[in-house]
Amino acid sequence: GQQLNQSPQSMFIQEGEDVSMNCTSSSIFNTWLWYKQDPGEGPVLLIALYKAGELTSNGRLTAQFGITRKDSFLNISASIPSDVGIYFCAGRKSGNTPLVFGKGTRLSVIA
Amino acid sequence: NAGVMQNPRHLVRRRGQEARLRCSPMKGHSHVYWYRQLPEEGLKFMVYLQKENIIDESGMPKERFSAEFPKEGPSILRIQQVVRGDSAAYFCASSPLSWEETQYFGPGTRLLVL
């Protein structure tokens, strides 16, 4: 079935560095969401994007809804150890369709 | 304000047994969604329910899997005659209105089939 392509699959960064990850699709999505999952827990919503070109921030996190509606990126500035986890993008094609998730980007932060 | 609750958190079953996974949505939420997550994978949608109704079950396997959300009590995901391939984390999410709304996820049930 439809799946979103997330990259990179994993990344190791030093504390204090900025992080960038993205999500692409071959089809258009009308909603893009970014979630974080800690080990043994469910995903927690970080940012929701509803409009092409939209740029939204949540603290040190910034996400953008690509202008083509086929991609989105998430940036984390000045990473800290608690940023460790798996970041998932998710998209919805239209109002009455299920969320489609990417496979995640696994982030490790070295203190 | 309690979040989405799922139990059990971990469940071990032998092949051929039944697994029952329970989900209590957030207070005030009447829409429930079930997802399955295989190791190293993203979440895959299974089913969307409102109270006493299945709205979309396009992600549910055709056999052995069923879901309900009764008028009273939690939503139940039932897997009959489990096989090793059913081993996964099963997440429930809820939202206050339709499924366009933000979904809040529970902590998941990790099913291991021996």
Q: Which runs of consecutive H residues, i.e. helices, occur in A1-111?
A: none
* Range B18-28 average pLDDT: 96
- Closest approach of chain A CAs to the CA of B64, in angstroms? 20
Contact A79, A18 (CB under 8 A): yes
Q: What is the residue-averaged pLDDT of chain B?
A: 93
Say how far apart CA B96 and CA B101 lie, in whole Å: 7
Contact A67, A1 (CB under 8 A): no
Q: Can you give the pLDDT of all 111 residues of chain A as single tens digits?
A: 567 999 999 999 999 999 999 999 999 999 999 999 998 899 999 999 999 999 999 999 999 999 999 999 999 999 999 999 999 999 998 877 889 999 999 999 988
pLDDT at site B58:
94
Chain A residue with the nearest C-alpha to that of B59: A98
Position B57 pLDDT exceeds 80? yes
Q: What angle do CA B87, B93, B95 make, to 5 degrees?
A: 165
* Range B70-79 average pLDDT: 95
Identify the three-state secondary structure at position A61. Answer: strand
Torsion of CA B7, B8, B13, B16, to 10 degrees: -20
Pairwise CB contact (< 8 Å): B104 & A45? yes
pLDDT at site A80:
95
Residues from chain B contacting residue A100 (CB–CB below 8 Å): 45
| First-to-last C-alpha distance (Å) of chain B | 37
Kind of pairing between the strands at A105-110 and A55-58? unpaired
Residue partners of B63: CB distance under 8 A and separation at least 6: none
Contact B92, B34 (CB under 8 A): yes
DSSP 8-state assignment for residue A40: T
Pairwise CB contact (< 8 Å): A101 & B93? no
pLDDT at site B100:
64
Q: Which two tokens stand for residue B100?
A: 């366009």
Residue partners of B108: CB distance under 8 A and separation at least 6: A40, A41, A42, B6, B9, B37, B89, B90, B91, B92
Would you list which residues of chain A are within 8 Å, Cβ to Cβ, of chain B? 1, 3-4, 6, 31, 35, 40-45, 48, 88, 90, 92, 95-96, 98-104
Position B112 pLDDT exceeds 70? yes
Residue partners of A10: CB distance under 8 A and separation at least 6: A105, A106, A107, A108
